[in-house]
Amino acid sequence: MKKSTMLFSSAAVSALVLTGGITAVANAVSVPQSAPIAVPAVDVPAAPNTTVQQNRISVGASADAVKAALAKCQADNLPFVTVALVDRFGTVQALLRGDNAAEHTIEAAKQKAYTAAAFGAPTSELSGRISGNGKPSIADLPGTLFLAGGVPLKVNGVSVAGIGVGGAPDGMLDEACATAGAEAIVAAGQ
């Protein structure tokens, strides 16, 4: 073995021994562990000045609504749509994709439903609020779509959800289906 190889090997072994020794010493030193900090749960009183109640469309009514909307579209020979029902924050409560509905119809239906819920008006009415002059407008808000096909669902005049349909060749056809879904909820509540 060459002298340079022996020196290198010797240096490598020394480094391993030194590293191992330091690791052993570090592991042997005990560091006091502090007790986990307990964060107490705070029971907030349900009072008008501390909490709000929120109305939501039930799971059964949501499912019935999307089925009714899709049935309307199918009766109108539009089976390639998607229907979405979202709460007022845009969280999907029910979604039904029709046979042969394209991928983009899923997002379109969700966004139309959210837009209707957030603004409390049918998206066919809201589309007129968009300025076409190139300046920022409400159409730039994330998750919204200002095309006909979204209908708000209200409880005592307050928007709590929206139902949207995407995929028909005309937004007013989408909106007719969404309206049929909304009417199914009204009929079930009577």
pLDDT tens across 70-124, in order? 999 999 999 999 999 999 999 999 999 999 999 999 999 999 999 999 999 999 9
Does 45 fall in a domain?
no
Mean pLDDT across 126-151:
85
Domain containing 137 — which CATH number? 3.30.450.150
pTM of the entire predicted model: 0.75
Does 11 fall in a domain?
no
Mean pLDDT across 38-60:
87
Does 41 fall in a domain?
no
Residue 149 belongs to what domain range?
A: 59-189
Name the pLDDT band for 132 (thresholds 50, 70, 90).
low
Residue 29 has pLDDT above 90, yes or no: no
Residue 15 has pLDDT above 50, yes or no: no
Q: Give residues with Cβ within 8 angstroms of 172, minimum separation 6.
A: 124, 148
Q: For residue 64, what pLDDT is reported?
A: 97
pLDDT tens across 142-184, in order? 999 999 999 999 999 999 999 999 999 999 999 999 999 999 9
Does 10 fall in a domain?
no
Domain count, the chain: 1
Residue 21 has pLDDT above 80, yes or no: no
Q: Are 142 and 135 in contact (CB under 8 A)?
A: no
Q: Are 153 and 162 in contact (CB under 8 A)?
A: yes
Does 133 fall in a domain?
yes
The tokens describing 1, both together, are: 């073995």
DSSP letters, 147-175, are: SS-EEEEEETTEEEEEEEEE-SSSHHHHH
Mean pLDDT across 126-139:
78
Q: For residue 28, what pLDDT is reported?
A: 54
Q: Are 145 and 108 in contact (CB under 8 A)?
A: yes
Does 110 fall in a domain?
yes
Does 67 fall in a domain?
yes
Of 44 and 111, which is predicted with more confidence? 111
Q: For residue 32, what pLDDT is reported?
A: 62
Does 12 fall in a domain?
no
